[in-house]
A and B are shown apart, each in its own frame.
Chain A
Amino acid sequence: MSVTNLLENWAQFRHFHPVEDNPHDPYKWAMSIDLDACTGCNACSVACYAENNLPVVGKEKFAHGQVMHWMRIERYWDEDGREFPDQGAQFLPMMCQQCEAAPCETVCPVAATNHTPDGLNSQIYNRCIGSRYCSANCPFKVRYFNWYDYPTTDNVWPAEMTQQLNPDVTVRGKGVMEKCTFCVQRISAAKVTAKGEGRTVREGEVQTACQQACPTNAISFGNLIDPEAKVHKQWKAQQVELDKEEQAKDKEEGGSDLRGYRIFEELRPYPSVMYLERVRESAI
């Protein structure tokens, strides 16, 4: 990523995908999350801590907003002034949306965050200098900064707990930004196996940690351009397209009766995560 390279090819780098001269091929990793199946149990969040060497920051740092949960469950209440939340709560698993035109990529002063050919928003820890501009730009606020050197902070990873750390994932030091990677270490491992056999990764071969843990299978992850992939079928059935900021179905009279939507689509980051609306029974 030399400066010359950057300047000459800026337009190409800034292109959002897919476009004809730079299509996703053969992978575009995407996710779809069914909010009706999500129970808010937080299993995905804890699984992510386990898989990606996330530090536990403790009560005080949590109070300062310095928590490191790459996958968080947001809980919303209804806002129509009822006495009780008699249609329950809304749970929303939120993690890096791996935007195609990510607002964070453009503002990094050292290009520590880029777009990979398979559609992920990459975060290169050793390049990051900690300007935190990317986090300021992220509309989803899914970027987390290492305000402290957690590997050397007491009680984060005391003696034996260091043995639990996943050797496939870098342990981040102070001053580095991090975020959900769609378990890129698992994707790489699956790709290595597949390449060894001379083929591409098949549906079901790679599962993100959150997807694997979720007891209700609310999270679907896979290759958006593989017609066999569940994610592909879901996006298609929901008529949500990656490169649109307003879907055709939403332009119809009276909106759409399909559940699929993307958050902050109108801001044009072109997120790779589609959510399926939560459903509540009308008969009760």
Chain B
Amino acid sequence: MGVPSLNGRKKIEAENNYHDSPHKNNPIYLFGQAALGVACDHLFAGGVHTMHRSLRFFVLLVGLFWIVGSYATDASQAVLTTEDSLGPLVEQPFEFPHNRHANDMQIDCMYCHTYARRSAVAGIPPLQKCIGCHQSIDSVRETPRIKKLFEYWEGSEDGRIAARTPIPWKKVHDLPDFVRFNHERHIKRFIEQQNRPTQEACGYCHGDVKEMTVARRNKPLSMGWCASCHEKDHPVSGEGGVAVGNQAYWYSFQKPVVEAADGAVKAKGPNDCWQCHK
């Protein structure tokens, strides 16, 4: 292909132990290199005419920016706010029916996912939580899924699962390492400060879980999607249009704006990059 060696340095053979493994193959990067290579070839291939050179150069530059641009946009995508941006069906050790628990029984999300209001992560309920109720629910004790549950608690008959083994649930919602989402802050804001019902608040991001059996990602969870909520003007005021809370409440929101007419206060959510990208 005639790709010039852009990494021109010879790989330094170390006397020490710090060797570079081959860079993880990123197809975009490779193609970008290839494109640049092709462009370079053409640029240097010949042609005396200045106009050609500047045109080639222009194309090269465009190509450069395109690649760089694609690199930069790799992580964050265009905003997709359609409701049917579903995640893959994740297979779990056994099918936990959210609809049975959240809809039929109307169990609050945070009864099981307790850590949501205390920590950055919402957490999966420990085995103890399931058994806590199910040890006394005789009516479903012999159903297949509950039998599976108790295999983790008591150990399976064939000995493959030891007693008290935590269930290896698979992740459904994941964010990249450089994104830090804090459940506690959102629970505090929506549920405690704005008194919204738990299932509704959790549903903003996790979708209508009470209609699901196994959880499935319902929202894109992309930065654009998160920012679309933060960029909204939230009318946040108490009775009579009085702004709620003190400086601590407002801090990290963008500047609250008081609508003179009815005294309603609106503010946009935090847009400080470092809040989420530490």
A and B touch in the complex (CB under 8 A): yes
Partner of B248 from the list A127, A154, A198 (CB cut-off 8 Å) is: A198
Query: Are the C-beta atoms of B16 and A60 separated by less than 8 Å?
Result: yes
Q: How many residues of B are counted as interface, with CB atoms below 8 angstroms from the partner's CB atoms?
A: 40
CB nearest to A57 among chain B residues: B18
Query: Are the C-beta atoms of B18 and A156 separated by less than 8 Å?
Result: yes
Query: Are the C-beta atoms of B184 and A192 separated by less than 8 Å?
Result: yes
Query: Are the C-beta atoms of A195 and B16 separated by less than 8 Å?
Result: no
Partner of B178 from the list A122, A156, A170 (CB cut-off 8 Å) is: A170
CB nearest to A197 among chain B residues: B248
Query: Are the C-beta atoms of B248 and A194 separated by less than 8 Å?
Result: yes
Q: What is the CA–CA distance of A184 and B277 in the complex, to the nearest angstrom?
A: 10
A171 at the interface (CB under 8 A from B): yes
CB nearest to B184 among chain A residues: A192
Contacts of A215 in B (CB 8 A): none
Knowing A110-B72, A194-B248, A198-B246, the reply to whether A120 touches B274 (Cβ < 8 A) is yes
Q: What is the CA–CA distance of A35 and B64 in the complex, to the nearest angstrom?
A: 47
A116 at the interface (CB under 8 A from B): yes
CB nearest to A125 among chain B residues: B178
Query: Are the C-beta atoms of B248 and A149 separated by less than 8 Å?
Result: no
Q: How many residues of A are counted as interface, with CB atoms below 8 angstroms from the partner's CB atoms?
A: 44
Knowing A124-B273, A149-B23, the reply to whether A188 touches B18 (Cβ < 8 A) is no
A148 at the interface (CB under 8 A from B): yes
B160 at the interface (CB under 8 A from A): no
Contacts of B274 in A (CB 8 A): 116, 120, 122, 124, 181, 184
Contacts of B72 in A (CB 8 A): 110, 127, 129
Query: Are the C-beta atoms of B21 and A154 separated by less than 8 Å?
Result: yes
Knowing A168-B180, A195-B188, A198-B246, the reply to whether A174 touches B17 (Cβ < 8 A) is no
Contacts of A60 in B (CB 8 A): 12, 14-16, 18
A155 at the interface (CB under 8 A from B): yes
Query: Are the C-beta atoms of A124 and B248 separated by less than 8 Å?
Result: no
A1 at the interface (CB under 8 A from B): yes
Query: Are the C-beta atoms of B277 and A126 separated by less than 8 Å?
Result: yes
Query: Are the C-beta atoms of A174 and B247 separated by less than 8 Å?
Result: no
Query: Are the C-beta atoms of B20 and A153 separated by less than 8 Å?
Result: yes
B275 at the interface (CB under 8 A from A): yes
**Highest count of chain B CB atoms <10 Å: which of A126, A129, A155:** A126
List A161-197 residues whose CB lies under 8 Å from chain B: 168-171, 174, 181, 184-185, 188, 191-192, 194-196
Query: Are the C-beta atoms of B176 and A126 separated by less than 8 Å?
Result: yes
Knowing A126-B178, A170-B177, A196-B188, the reply to whether A152 touches B21 (Cβ < 8 A) is yes
Partner of B251 from the list A26, A58, A120 (CB cut-off 8 Å) is: A26
B239 at the interface (CB under 8 A from A): no
**Highest count of chain B CB atoms <10 Å: which of A27, A57, A170:** A170
A227 at the interface (CB under 8 A from B): no
Contacts of A200 in B (CB 8 A): 247-248, 251
List B248-272 residues whose CB lies under 8 Å from chain A: 248-249, 251-252, 271-272
Knowing A188-B278, A195-B188, the reply to whether A153 touches B18 (Cβ < 8 A) is yes
A75 at the interface (CB under 8 A from B): no
CB nearest to B275 among chain A residues: A188
Q: List 16 A-B contacts (CB under 8 A).
A: A60-B12, A60-B15, A120-B274, A124-B273, A124-B274, A124-B277, A129-B68, A149-B21, A152-B24, A156-B18, A171-B177, A191-B251, A194-B248, A195-B185, A198-B249, A200-B247
Given contacts A116-B274, A117-B252, 9 further A-B contacts (CB under 8 A): A60-B15, A126-B178, A126-B179, A149-B23, A155-B17, A184-B278, A195-B251, A196-B188, A198-B249
Q: Which residues of A contact B (CB under 8 A)?
A: 1, 25-27, 57-61, 110, 114, 116-117, 120, 122, 124-127, 129, 148-149, 152-156, 168-171, 174, 181, 184-185, 188, 191-192, 194-196, 198-200
